């Protein structure tokens, strides 16, 4: 796997959120023209991306905001590629309580509560940028 793409409405806020989670900004770019049009099957694509890298260097998130066409909220069963919040992403963390507190400063909201799974993991889901669900897992056993 090379990366996971997430469409967001506020690229700067999303970069700040994932930086707080420990990812590093690898680069940013503005995209438009025939290549993104053909790849996405849309006309007149103008977008900005930020590539975020996990600390171990093995995983990447491509955060994208669309200037044109405007991003839409997921409603249909087969949403187009510029739909907000298509993915749930899970991250391993050392201290789930500290991570939740830090991400709340960036607007994250805990869904449900932190749950323990078989004395092995503490797990939770947060609502993050563009309404995506970010799951956290802390190994405890």
What are the pLDDT digits (tens) for 87-139? 578 999 999 999 999 999 999 989 889 999 999 999 998 988 888 888 999 99
Count structural domains, the chain.
Answer: 1
The predicted-structure confidence for 2-59, as pLDDT tens digits, reads as follows: 899 999 999 999 999 999 999 999 999 999 999 888 988 899 999 999 999 999 999 9
- C-alpha closest to that of 4 among 66, 111, 91: 91
Helices (H), 5-129: 11-20, 34-40, 96-104
Q: Give the domain range for residue 58.
A: 4-139
pTM of the full structure: 0.85
The answer, yes or no, to whether the previous bond of 65 is cis (omega within 30 of 0) is no
Q: What is the CATH number of the domain that holds 42?
A: 3.10.180.10
In Å, how far from its chain's centre is CA 114? 20
């Amino acid at each position: 796997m090379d990366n996971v793409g997430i469409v967001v409405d506020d690229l700067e806020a999303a970069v700040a959120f994932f930086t707080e989670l420990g990812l590093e900004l690898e680069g940013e770019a503005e995209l438009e023209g025939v290549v993104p049009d053909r790849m996405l099957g849309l006309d007149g694509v103008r977008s900005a991306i930020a590539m975020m890298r996990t600390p171990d260097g093995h995983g990447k998130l491509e955060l994208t905001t669309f200037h044109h066409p405007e991003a839409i909220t997921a409603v249909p069963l087969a949403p187009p590629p510029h739909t907000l919040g298509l993915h749930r992403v899970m991250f391993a963390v050392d201290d789930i309580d500290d991570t939740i507190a830090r991400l709340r400063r960036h607007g994250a909201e805990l869904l449900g509560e932190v749950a323990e799974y078989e004395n092995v993991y503490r797990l939770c889901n947060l609502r993050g940028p563009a309404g995506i669900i970010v799951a956290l897992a802390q190994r405890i056993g």
